[in-house]
Amino acid sequence: MASCRFPYQAVIFDMDGVIVDSERFYYDQLDEMYSAEGIFVPREELCRAVGASYKDFKSNLVRWFAMGGVDLSPEEAEARYDAWAAVHPADYAALLNPGVRETVAELKGLGVRVALASSSPMDNIMHVLEVCGLSDAFEHVTSGEQFLESKPNPEIYLHTLDLLGLPATSCCCVEDSVPGIAAGKAAGLTVIAKREDRFGFSQELADAVVDSIADILALSASR
């Protein structure tokens, strides 16, 4: 049963843009990398890629290199990106969104189960959780690389619900991007969006929009 102070039995968190404010970092990282290559990638292109699956991310890398006349295979494009990222690594601990650890701990204290479902590769997820002090925070951790299609395909959420053994109607997810919100809705979840105004996309399909992760604790007043 859900806690009398919280209306859901479980909360499934996205990672990028929700647990860590990484979307802006990745946007700037890609902009800087392609600029260093002498390739101009329009802002609209980079914004549309926010929240994309890693499979789509690799396809975008190839396409954007091609815009500058550089023809690479997906593996070659990924290697170029990995080399750049190794020299310009993300400080995920500094990117941890305010209130995440406290909110997860409070939910668990209320008897609410917490899981994580991210389109990122599992090794990246594990690294982020470790440096942010969240290695043991989530009951289940699911990566988009486990499936043929990640978000906006709902399979990642349907699989996480199976792991939890709970119906979608008893759970909510916390998302930020268009693909993530669409995946949550398609899975039948109540979707809470962390407000994101920097990339020009709409969060109108979400059931609620919060300004901070801690604000999800007030959901009991709205249901």
pLDDT confidence bin for 54, thresholds 50/70/90: confident
Nearest partner of 175 among 184, 187, 164, judged by Cα: 184
Residue 1 pLDDT > 50: no
Read off the pTM.
0.91
Residue 144 pLDDT > 80: yes
Helix (H) or strand (E) holding 192, with range, is strand 190-194
pLDDT confidence bin for 4, thresholds 50/70/90: low
Look up the CATH number of the domain holding residue 200: 3.40.50.1000
pLDDT at 221: 41
Contact present, 91 and 117 (Cβ < 8 Å): no
Q: Are residues 51 and 161 in the same domain?
A: no
Q: Are residues 113 and 210 in the same domain?
A: yes
Residue 191 pLDDT > 50: yes
pLDDT at 150: 86
Q: What is the mean pLDDT of residues 14-20?
A: 97
pLDDT over 70 percentage in the chain = 96
Q: What is the mean pLDDT of residues 47-70?
A: 90
pLDDT confidence bin for 220, thresholds 50/70/90: low
The whole-angstrom separation of Cα 83 and Cα 181 is 31
pLDDT tens-digit series, residues 170-189: 999 999 999 999 999 999 99
pLDDT at 51: 81
In degrees and rounded to multiples of 5, residue 209 shows phi and psi of -125, 130
**Domain assignment of residue 32, yes or no:** yes
pLDDT tens-digit series, residues 77-122: 999 999 999 999 999 999 999 999 999 999 999 999 999 999 999 9
Q: Are residues 186 and 132 in the same domain?
A: yes
Q: Are residues 143 and 216 in the same domain?
A: yes
Q: What is the mean pLDDT of the chain?
A: 93
Q: Are residues 116 and 189 in the same domain?
A: yes
Please give the angle made by the CA atoms of 122, 136 and 2, to the nearest 5 degrees.
105
Domain total in the chain = 2
**Domain assignment of residue 2, yes or no:** no
**Which residues are tagged catalytic?**
14, 16
pLDDT confidence bin for 219, thresholds 50/70/90: confident
Place of tokens 């990246």: 124
Place of tokens 């295979």: 73
User: Of the residues 87, 121, 136, which one is the last residue of a structural domain?
Assistant: 87
Around Cβ 126, how many Cβ atoms within 10 Å? 14
